[in-house]
Amino acid sequence: MAVLMGIDLGTSSVKTVLMHESGSLMAIAQQEYSFDIPREGWAEQDPETWWKAAVDTIRSAMHTSGVQPEEIRGIGFSGQMHGLVMLDGSGKPVRKAIIWCDQRTKHQVDYINQTVGEQRVGEIVHSPVAVGFMGPSLLWMKEHEPDMYRQTARVVLPKDYIRFKLTGTISTDISDAASTTLLDVSSGRWSDELINALGFRQELFPDIHLPDTPAGEISFEAADVTGLKRGTPVVHGGADQVMQAVGNGIVTPGTISVTIGTGGQVLSPLDRPLYDSRLRAHGFNFLTRESWYFMGASLSAGLSLRWLRNILDPQLPYREVDRLASQVPPGSEGLLFLPYLGGERTPHMDAHARGIFFGMTLNHKRSHLLRSVMEGVVFALKDSLNILINDLGQPCSRVIASGGGMTSSLWLQMQADILQQEIYISNMKEQAGVGAAITAGVGTGLFESYQQACSELISLQETPTIPDASQKHQYQEYYELYRQLYGLNRDAMHTASRLSRERTGGGKS
C-alpha cells in the first residue's frame, strides 16, 4: 500500500491530508490560527506558528489513520501565495512574514511601476504589481527595516519554509515564484531586469523548480519532531490555487475553477503565456515549463461573510446564515454590497478601495445584509470571469466551484444564476491538500502524469447546479449597477482610506 501526504498551508490554518494511492482520504487534520494586524492594513504571521501547526497536524493525521511512517511514499505542499518570508544565514526567520492580504506597500507598488514602467512590468510578470506580493514587500523592508533586510540571506514563500524545516533545503517552485512580481513568466526564471532595477541582491532568491520535482528527504531532525520516516521523499509542491486546481482535476484549458475561500479566485489553465494587457488580472506559471494559468482575485470573499456574521452574531451557524439569506429574493430587494473590505485586486487593483452597502432602506433586515454580501462576492467573481472569457477569448467548457462556498447550496445557486454557468463540484474533499498529495505521487513516480492521476482519482458530482433562467435579466441589471458603483465612489473611497490612516497613525506606507 502506498500513501501520499499533502500539507496545505493556508491563511487561517494548516491542513494535512493522507491519501491512499486509490484516491480515498485516510485522514484530514487541521490546526487553525490567525494573523496579526499590528497597524491598519498590515497582515503578518509568524512562520514558527505554521511550523508548529504542520508538526501537530502531521502527527494527528498519522495517529488518526493508523498509517505507519514507512507507508508514506511522498509528501507534497500547497501554500498561500505572494507572502514574504525572510531567512538569515542559519535559516531562521528574521521577522514575521508579510502575507498576501497586507496592504502597506502602495507606495512601493507605485515606485516599481514608475521605475520600470507599468507596461514593461506587465510584459515581464504578466500581472499587475500588487500590494501583498513579495516584490513590493521586500522593497518596503529594504526602505523601512534596513537592518532586518541586511540580515536576510534568502527569501522564500510561506510553504517553502515548511518544506525547508522538513528537508533542510531552501528552494521554491515555479507556480509560487510567479506570484512574487519578480519572475519572468515566459521563461520561468527570476527577472534580472526587475531585481537589478529594484536594487535587490541576486543571491536572495532561491533556485526554482517544477511542483513535482524532488526537493529532498525528511531529515533526521524533522523525523524526530514529526514522527515521519527519515529519508521519505519530498517534492516542491505549488501555490494553493494551482494545487486546488489539481485536486479538482483541472489540468488543461477550458475548465474553470471558481473559488470562494477567505479570498475569491477564478482560475483557468492556459497553453500559452497569455495575460490581460490592461493589467486587471494575473497570468502565472502552472505545472510545467509549457503551461500557465489565468487568475482573477478578489481579496474579501468568504472573509466578507464571516465579517458580517461576526458583527451580527458570532455564534450564528452558517446553515442559519443560508436560511436567513434564502428568505430574501434575488437582488436583496435593491441592496448591493461591494466586498472591498481590504482593498481589491481584479479588476481594480486598488489597495484603497473600500466596502459599500448601497441602496439600503428601512425595509432591509439582517437577512438582506447577509444575502447582499453573498451576491456581492459572486458579482466580484463575475468581473474576473468576464475578463477571461470575453476579453481574453478563452473557452469555458465547465465551471467547478471550490472552497467554503461550495458547501452552501444557496451560494452555489447564486454562482449559477449570476455567472450564468452550470456549476459542478468535486466529490473529493480538501482539494488543495489532495492536489499536493497528487503532486507528490507524480514526483515519486506513483503516477505517470497529472492527467493520469486526475482521471483516475478525481470525479465530479453528476448533477450540476443549473442557472435559473428567470433570474438572468434581474441579476444582469443588478450587476451593471454593481459595476458602476466603484467608479462613482472611487475618489470618496480613497479619501476615507487616507483619513482612516491619518487618524489611526498609519500615515504613508
Domain membership flag for residue 184: yes
Both 45 and 166 in one domain: the answer is: yes
> pLDDT, tens digit, for every residue of 65-83?
999 999 999 999 999 999 9
Q: CA distances (Å), 194 to each of 102, 121, 157, 235, in order?
A: 22, 8, 18, 28
In a 3-state reduction of DSSP, which class is residue 465?
Answer: strand
Tell me which residue has cell 498561500: 80
> pLDDT, tens digit, for every residue of 367-422?
999 999 999 999 999 999 999 999 999 999 999 999 888 899 999 999 999 999 99
Segment 236-260 shows an average pLDDT of: 96
- From the list 176, 212, 240, 417, the catalytic residue is 240
Answer yes or no: is pLDDT of 267 > 90.
Answer: yes
Answer yes or no: is pLDDT of 508 > 60.
Answer: no
Domain membership flag for residue 465: no
Contact 53, 11 (CB under 8 A): no
Segment 465-470 shows an average pLDDT of: 96
> pLDDT, tens digit, for every residue of 115-127?
999 999 999 999 9
Both 266 and 220 in one domain: the answer is: no
Other beta carbons within 10 angstroms of residue 499's beta carbon come to: 10
Output the pTM of the full model: 0.92
Answer yes or no: is pLDDT of 142 > 80.
Answer: yes
Residue 22 sits in a domain whose CATH number is 3.30.420.40
Both 222 and 269 in one domain: the answer is: no
Q: Work out the mean pLDDT of the chain and round it to a whole number.
A: 96
Segment 496-501 shows an average pLDDT of: 88
pLDDT at 507: 52
Pairing of strands 398-402, 255-260: parallel
Both 288 and 363 in one domain: the answer is: yes
Confidence label for 40 from pLDDT (cuts 50, 70 and 90)? confident
Amino acid letter at 421?
Answer: Q
Give the residue from 242, 270, 300 where a domain finishes: 242
Domain membership flag for residue 466: no
Domain membership flag for residue 118: yes
Please report the beta strands in 344-448, taking only residues with DSSP state E, as ranges in sequence order: 356-358, 398-402, 423-425
Among residues 489, 436, 321, the alpha carbon closest in space to that of 80 is found at: 436
In a 3-state reduction of DSSP, which class is residue 407?
Answer: helix
CA 376 to chain centre: 19
Least trusted range by pLDDT, from 155-159, 256-260, 426-430: 426-430
Segment 270-283 shows an average pLDDT of: 93
> pLDDT, tens digit, for every residue of 190-239?
999 999 999 999 999 999 999 999 999 999 999 999 999 999 999 999 99
Q: Which residues of 365-393 are buried (b: 16+ CB within 10 A; e: fewer)?
A: ebbbbbbbbbbbbbbbbbbbbbbbbeebe
Domain membership flag for residue 37: yes
Segment 124-153 shows an average pLDDT of: 97
Return the higher-pLDDT residue of 430 and 8.
8
> pLDDT, tens digit, for every residue of 93-111?
999 999 999 999 999 999 9
Confidence label for 269 from pLDDT (cuts 50, 70 and 90)? very high
In a 3-state reduction of DSSP, which class is residue 24?
Answer: coil
Give the residue from 242, 274, 297 where a domain finishes: 242
Tell me which residue has cell 478601495: 353
Domain membership flag for residue 462: no
Tell me which residue has cell 434581474: 474
The C-alpha atoms of residue 151 and residue 88 are separated, in whole angstroms, by 6
pLDDT at 287: 97
Contact 64, 30 (CB under 8 A): no
Amino acid letter at 174?
Answer: I
Which residue stretches of 145-185 are H helix?
A: 146-151, 158-167, 174-177
Both 291 and 238 in one domain: the answer is: no
Domain membership flag for residue 408: yes
Percent of the residues in the chain that have a pLDDT greater than 90, as a whole number: 94
Both 321 and 396 in one domain: the answer is: yes
Give the residue from 207, 242, 277 where a domain finishes: 242
Both 303 and 193 in one domain: the answer is: no
Supply the range of the domain harboring residue 22. 3-242
> pLDDT, tens digit, for every residue of 150-185?
999 999 999 999 999 999 999 999 999 999 999 999
pLDDT at 1: 76
pLDDT at 198: 97
The C-alpha atoms of residue 492 and residue 251 are separated, in whole angstroms, by 42
Domain membership flag for residue 216: yes
Pairing of strands 398-402, 423-425: parallel
Both 131 and 179 in one domain: the answer is: yes
Number of structural domains found in the chain: 2
Both 296 and 216 in one domain: the answer is: no
Both 262 and 237 in one domain: the answer is: no
Both 100 and 211 in one domain: the answer is: yes
pLDDT at 429: 84
Both 290 and 202 in one domain: the answer is: no
- Catalytic-residue membership of 46: no
pLDDT at 505: 61
